[in-house]
């Protein structure tokens, strides 16, 4: 694992965007795994600026999002489909047919999950996966206790995640209780992974993820087994690490 610490959220967002821009320049048809949540918002903003000001070309990339709530239509302002279009896709020259987001409204979720795995395979696998981390250690919606070998499937959200995400809804009762999520095995099959985290509320879980034992109780800890992971942290998120880290 390469751990990099920067002073601020702005700095980690800018560096993450530079890393991804370089990947796209090296491979214009990059297969990029994308995350939602508040963490990658700064990164998406920086990539949009690179597109507008430097001509960064997204026209050939294929994207796969990590997860989606079950039961929210694409038009719901808290669906991840809506989030991605609002915060990223509508502002860049991505080809709409190369965007992939799990379908949280499908009639047959099991079939939709298998098809999502097939699509990733047919695209040649994910070259570069962006990840956030939940305050309980989840990656995508793989909550504590998830199988470390899992593939895309339906997963219930933990009480902690429902509480954390209720800040985006009018009330906690509106938060969906289930999701479709790439599995931990799906994420681990990516060629390269970039996990970003900021803020004091992530410090404890970042310590468990990087310095703790590998355990299904902290799904992100499995990243210790991946060949090529970079963890990009601001000062606060890195504040509980005992490791010496690069800045
Ligand atoms: P956040 O969520 O970026 O909103 O903190 C991260 C996650 O739950 O994976």
Ligand 1 centre from 164 Cα, in Å? 9
- 85 tagged catalytic: no
> For residue 80, which of 66, 61, 94, 62 has the smallest C-alpha distance?
66
Q: Is 132 in the pocket of ligand 1 (CB under 6 A)?
A: yes
pTM over 0.95: yes
Question: What's the pLDDT score for residue 245?
Answer: 81
Q: Which residues contact 202 (CB under 8 A, 6 or more apart)?
A: 133, 135, 236, 237
Note the pLDDT tens digit of each residue in 199-221. Answer: 999 999 999 999 999 999 999 99
Class of domain 2-234: alpha beta
* Cα torsion 94, 97, 103, 105: sign: positive
Ligand 1 contact, 33 CB (< 6 A): no
pLDDT computed for residue 244 by the predictor: 83
Of 13, 67, 69, 134, the residue with max ligand 1 atoms within 8 A of its CB, to mutate for a pocket test, comes to: 134
- pLDDT above 70: residue 246: no
């Amino acid at each position: 694992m390469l751990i990099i610490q920067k002073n601020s959220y702005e700095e980690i967002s800018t560096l993450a965007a530079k890393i991804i821009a370089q990947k796209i320049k090296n491979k214009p048809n990059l297969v990029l795994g994308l995350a939602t949540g508040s963490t990658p918002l700064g990164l998406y903003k920086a990539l949009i600026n690179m597109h507008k000001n430097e001509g960064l070309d997204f026209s050939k990339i294929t994207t796969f999002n990590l997860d989606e709530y079950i039961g929210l239509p694409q038009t719901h302002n808290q669906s991840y489909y809506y989030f991605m279009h609002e915060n990223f896709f509508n502002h860049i020259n991505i080809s709409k047919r190369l965007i992939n987001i799990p379908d949280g409204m499908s009639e047959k979720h099991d079939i939709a999950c298998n098809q999502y795995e097939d699509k990733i395979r047919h695209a040649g696998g994910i070259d570069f996966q962006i990840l956030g981390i939940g305050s309980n250690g989840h990656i995508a919606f793989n909550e504590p206790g998830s199988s470390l070998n899992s593939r895309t499937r339906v997963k219930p959200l933990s009480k902690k995640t429902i509480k954390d995400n209720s800040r985006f809804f009018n009330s906690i009762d509106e938060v969906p209780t289930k999701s479709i999520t790439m599995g931990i095995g799906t994420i681990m099959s990516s060629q390269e992974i970039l996990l970003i985290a900021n803020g004091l509320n992530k410090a404890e879980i970042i310590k468990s993820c990087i310095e703790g034992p590998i355990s299904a109780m902290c799904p992100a800890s499995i990243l210790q087994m991946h060949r090529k992971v970079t963890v990009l942290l601001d000062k606060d998120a890195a504040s509980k690490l005992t490791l010496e880290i690069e800045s």
